[in-house]
A and B are shown apart, each in its own frame.
Chain A
Amino acid sequence: MKRNRLRELPAVALVYFSGALILLVVVAIFYYLAHEARYAFDRPFPYGYRFSLQPPVLEPDPYTGEIVDDLTVDPNASLLAANFEGEDGVDDKEQSAPMPTLAELEGYHPFGTGSAVIATLEDVNLDGLYRDNWKKAKPASQGDSFYLFAFATPEYDKPTMKLAWGPDAAFSAKDCPYDIRLRLVRAPEGVELDPFDIDLVKHEQGAIELPAWIAKTDADRTSGYVFEMIATPTKSNFVATIIGFFKTDWAPTLQYPRYGFVPLLLSTMLMSFVALLIAVPIGLACATYLAEIAPVRVREWLKPIIEMLASIPTVVLGYFGLMIVAPGIVKVFSESLGMTSGRSFVTASLVLAFLLLPTIISIGEDALRAVPNLMREGASALGFTTRETIKKVVMPTARAGIVATVLLGFARAIGETMIIWILSGGTAVMPSANPIKTLAAPTRGMTDTIAIEMGNVEFEGAHYGHLFMIGLALFLVTLVINLAGYAYGRKRKWLAS
């Protein structure tokens, strides 16, 4: 007896060792994901507005019919943003580019924002003003304030001018953790204007009228209107990053990136769910046939074949889906779903279901076969038909195993990358409330987002960090599903005993 135990020792040690190793790897992966995800929190939150001086021009947009205040500068009026670089932030280009002259400003179009940091207004003098990348909109970030100088050139002949503002392309003040305000700092001598303080978060787009002020010399420019745009943080970067992560807009390549991963999460979960809806009934029916009804010889042939199907590389399945399934789906559903391209939610789900089938059949069959034969014989002795035996004896007994099969399939579907990448269409948008529209629309999941974007991301930047945050979320989702399956199995065992 004792000797036998001794002989088993190496095997037992090996089991414990492997267990410990797996645990270690899981912990290491978790640590690695969390460690790299920290770059997401280094994210600077930029903000950007465009300002312009113009006579009021309101024309409907030719395509949308919307009336927008076009933020282009009236050639006779001008607006400057001043930029003072700090001592350590001196940029060679900016140092050699002083403020534009009046001649340069003529005929000049949209005006960009600045990232100026000025300590006090007394520092403003003409020699120290640099053009802050003024031909191209540039985002400013936390704690920055910058000054705008408004004036009209001598050709301007109207009694009033208008200061209009609007957010930069793709900038949304509501997603930005700042309180942004526009204030009048100083009106030119002889001009009566009440001081104002406009909340730019509430009024993202707007305009105010000003009495015209003409600058005749370069020196006049800084003695005109002076406005200040100032951004005060309302949340810490950490909180803002977390809030941003749970928003519904994934657009990481914008100048003002948005990292809301909810559409990716929903899309992954829904695609996997639809795939399971298709694969589970078919797969379990096949498993039942194999385990309970099929003659031994048929099973011996079929099972290895089905298991071989499970070993098809997913990239092959993906391209099979693209070449065969996608055109077929377009043909069948072009009328009813209004589909124009086969790269869509429904195609990805279908091929995903095909991927899951062999797994579900194989593991499901194992679960059914784990039911002791004694129970089948007992049922038979009580006069149950095969159908009744399956329904009333085998299925309830194997329930824990079947649930485990479904959950395993679910985790497999969530982790699948290649098929989704090839077939989903790659559009990160929230699923529509109309299920038919969602099925026909292109979509994008979590895994393929990581695969697509990791190759072209700035390493150790905010986007990189957010991809690791998604990895972390993926890891947690599959962990929860697996733990749920485990807990369910435990509970069933306890009930049975």
Chain B
Amino acid sequence: MTAALIATLAIVGGAPSPALGTVAVKGSDSMLILNQRWAEAFGKKHPGTAIEVTGGGSSIGINAFINGVTDICAASRPMRKSEIDRARSRGAIAVETPAALDGLAVIVNTSNPVNSLTMDQIRRIYIGQINNWSQVGGPNQSIVVLSRDSNSGTYGFFQEKVLKNQNWGRGVRFMPSTAEEARETARTPGAIAYGGVAYFKGRDGIKIIGIAPAEGKPPVLPTEANVRNKSYPIWRYLYFYTNGRPRGETKTFIDWCLSTEGQSLVEQVGYYGLK
């Protein structure tokens, strides 16, 4: 009883590590599969260290980080200033480590003759200024605009990067998962959607289109080389946050993730390695 009480108090009190030899990774759902892969492969090499991976969303991970109940916070968006301040007021200094690269692909139905759009056209489609494919060189067909719902870090990233912080159009439909977006796009001839490249590779009925960073520039496809040299316009980092510089087993884990071996797993999951 007393032992249980002490354990509870220790967690409430913000003990940095739940147990000896355990590294807790909590946060982004986009990074969940990646974190699990890393944890599995790392566990085989370092049997003495257990990696505990949980999802829930970037914000949930950040909140856990602020409350000191996770060693690593995985986030698909950078921490906001208010969150960093709140962490600092509770004694946690947020240190950011980019762990992988992610390119967001824009997809349409395979029956759609449009093969590329400019960033500005995509923005106008999503804010509702363009609502027929004929306005961007396609057939006379209304555009069914699909997005992830705001549960996902991808949503906020897309709104900031592509929509330039403007509001979504009236007709945009919000899907609970990226797989749903892909399925709905495959089913609907006039659809457009976006999401991590990994989810769209090898799926029937959809095609990834090229994106021109600006009017008059050639369209770029989200290939590994293009994302890595940043010529593809919609990319982001996926982050690890730690309290101060990583130490001990946390450092061993993060260093391994950033090593050639760890980064090679990134590509298997569908994101891109940093190097």
Chain A positions within 8 Å of B, measured between CB atoms, are 63-64, 137, 168-170, 251-255, 327, 340-341, 343, 421-422, 425-427, 429, 441-442, 444, 452-453, 455-461
Q: Collect the chain A residues with CB atoms within 8 Å of residue B130's CB.
A: 63
Interface bin, chain B = 35 or more
Q: Collect the chain A residues with CB atoms within 8 Å of residue B188's CB.
A: 340-341
Give Cα distance in the complex from A63 to B118, angstroms.
13
Q: Collect the chain B residues with CB atoms within 8 Å of residue A340's CB.
A: 142, 144, 188, 190
Give Cα distance in the complex from A41 to B144, angstroms.
37
Give Cα distance in the complex from A132 to B149, angstroms.
32
Is there contact, CB below 8 Å, between A426 and B166?
Answer: no
Is there contact, CB below 8 Å, between B152 and A456?
Answer: yes
Is there contact, CB below 8 Å, between A452 and B144?
Answer: no
Is there contact, CB below 8 Å, between A453 and B151?
Answer: yes
Q: Collect the chain B residues with CB atoms within 8 Å of residue A63's CB.
A: 124, 129-130, 135
Does B34 belong to the interface (CB within 8 Å)?
no
Closest to B159 in A: A253
Give Cα distance in the complex from A455 to B144, angstroms.
26
Interface centre among B144, B151, B171, B173 (most CB of A within 10 A): B173
Q: Collect the chain B residues with CB atoms within 8 Å of residue A137's CB.
A: 165
Give Cα distance in the complex from A429 to B173, angstroms.
11
Is there contact, CB below 8 Å, between B172 and A427?
Answer: yes
Does B44 belong to the interface (CB within 8 Å)?
no
Distance to closest chain A CB from B109 (angstroms) = 11
Give Cα distance in the complex from A137 to B160, angstroms.
12
Give Cα distance in the complex from A340 to B144, angstroms.
7
Is there contact, CB below 8 Å, between A426 and B174?
Answer: yes
Is there contact, CB below 8 Å, between B59 and A170?
Answer: no
Distance to closest chain B CB from A2 (angstroms) = 43
Is there contact, CB below 8 Å, between B175 and A426?
Answer: yes
Supposing A64-B129, A425-B173 touch, asked if A254 and B153 sit within 8 A by C-beta, the answer is no
Q: Which of A170, A442, A444, A461 contacts B171 (CB 8 A)?
A: A442
CB < 8 Å A-B pair total: 95
Chain B positions within 8 Å of A, measured between CB atoms, are 29, 56-60, 62-63, 66, 80, 82-83, 86, 124, 129-130, 135, 142, 144, 149-153, 155-156, 159, 164-168, 170-176, 184, 187-188, 190-191
Distance to closest chain A CB from B94 (angstroms) = 14
Give Cα distance in the complex from A168 to B165, angstroms.
9
Is there contact, CB below 8 Å, between B151 and A456?
Answer: yes
Distance to closest chain A CB from B273 (angstroms) = 26
Is there contact, CB below 8 Å, between A425 and B174?
Answer: yes
Supposing A253-B150, A253-B156, A461-B82 touch, asked if A456 and B58 sit within 8 A by C-beta, the answer is yes
Q: Collect the chain B residues with CB atoms within 8 Å of residue A341's CB.
A: 144, 173, 184, 188, 191
Give Cα distance in the complex from A458 to B175, angstroms.
21
Give Cα distance in the complex from A48 to B187, angstroms.
41
Known: A427-B171, A452-B176, A456-B58; 13 extra A-B contacts, CB below 8 A, are A63-B124, A253-B150, A253-B159, A254-B166, A255-B165, A340-B188, A341-B144, A341-B184, A341-B191, A455-B56, A456-B151, A459-B59, A460-B86
Distance to closest chain B CB from A139 (angstroms) = 10
Q: Which of A170, A327, A343, A456 contacts B167 (CB 8 A)?
A: A170
Interface centre among A64, A455, A459 (most CB of B within 10 A): A455
Q: Collect the chain A residues with CB atoms within 8 Å of residue B56's CB.
A: 455
Closest to A249 in B: B167
Is there contact, CB below 8 Å, between B150 and A343?
Answer: no
Q: Collect the chain B residues with CB atoms within 8 Å of residue A422's CB.
A: 176
Is there contact, CB below 8 Å, between B83 and A458?
Answer: yes
Query: Can you list 8 A-B pairs, Cβ within 8 angstroms, ordered by A?
Result: A63-B130, A170-B166, A341-B184, A427-B173, A442-B174, A452-B176, A455-B151, A456-B57
Is there contact, CB below 8 Å, between B153 and A456?
Answer: yes
Q: Collect the chain B residues with CB atoms within 8 Å of residue A444's CB.
A: 174
Distance to closest chain B CB from A148 (angstroms) = 22
Give Cα distance in the complex from A132 to B213, angstroms.
27
Closest to A48 in B: B165
Q: Which of A327, A425, A453, A458 contacts B150 (CB 8 A)?
A: A453
Is there contact, CB below 8 Å, between B129 and A455?
Answer: no
Q: Which of B60, B150, B156, B184 contacts A452 (CB 8 A)?
A: B150
Distance to closest chain B CB from A44 (angstroms) = 10
Closest to B136 in A: A63
Q: Collect the chain A residues with CB atoms within 8 Å of residue B191's CB.
A: 341
Q: Collect the chain A residues with CB atoms within 8 Å of residue B29's CB.
A: 455
Distance to closest chain B CB from A89 (angstroms) = 11
Q: Collect the chain A residues with CB atoms within 8 Å of residue B66's CB.
A: 459
Is there contact, CB below 8 Å, between A458 and B59?
Answer: yes
Distance to closest chain A CB from B56 (angstroms) = 6
Supposing A340-B142, A456-B57, A456-B59 touch, asked if A251 and B174 sit within 8 A by C-beta, the answer is no
Give Cα distance in the complex from A457 to B165, angstroms.
17
Interface centre among A343, A426, A444, A460 (most CB of B within 10 A): A426
Distance to closest chain B CB from A286 (angstroms) = 32
Distance to closest chain A CB from B234 (angstroms) = 17
Is there contact, CB below 8 Å, between A169 and B150?
Answer: no
Supposing A456-B152, A458-B80 touch, asked if A251 and B168 sit within 8 A by C-beta, the answer is yes
Give Cα distance in the complex from A422 to B175, angstroms.
8
Is there contact, CB below 8 Å, between A456 and B129?
Answer: no
Q: Collect the chain A residues with CB atoms within 8 Å of residue B171's CB.
A: 427, 441-442
Q: Collect the chain B residues with CB atoms within 8 Å of residue A252's CB.
A: 150
Distance to closest chain B CB from A304 (angstroms) = 33
A-B pairs with lowest CB-CB distance, top 5: A426-B174, A455-B57, A425-B173, A459-B63, A255-B165
Q: Collect the chain A residues with CB atoms within 8 Å of residue B82's CB.
A: 458, 461
Give Cα distance in the complex from A255 to B156, angstroms.
10
Distance to closest chain A CB from B238 (angstroms) = 15
Give Cα distance in the complex from A461 to B79, angstroms.
14
Give Cα distance in the complex from A422 to B165, angstroms.
26
Q: Which of B59, B156, B165, B173 contacts A455 (CB 8 A)?
A: B59
Is there contact, CB below 8 Å, between A452 and B135?
Answer: no
Is there contact, CB below 8 Å, between B184 and A170?
Answer: no
Is there contact, CB below 8 Å, between B172 and A456?
Answer: no
Is there contact, CB below 8 Å, between B174 and A455?
Answer: no
Q: Which of A64, A169, A452, A461 contacts B149 (CB 8 A)?
A: A452
Give Cα distance in the complex from A441 to B174, angstroms.
12
Q: Collect the chain B residues with CB atoms within 8 Å of residue A442's CB.
A: 171-174
Q: Collect the chain B residues with CB atoms within 8 Å of residue A456's CB.
A: 57-59, 150-153, 155-156
Q: Collect the chain A residues with CB atoms within 8 Å of residue B149's CB.
A: 426, 452
Give Cα distance in the complex from A426 to B146, angstroms.
10
Q: Collect the chain A residues with CB atoms within 8 Å of residue B176's CB.
A: 421-422, 426, 452
Supposing A455-B151, A458-B59, A458-B80 touch, asked if A169 and B166 sit within 8 A by C-beta, the answer is yes
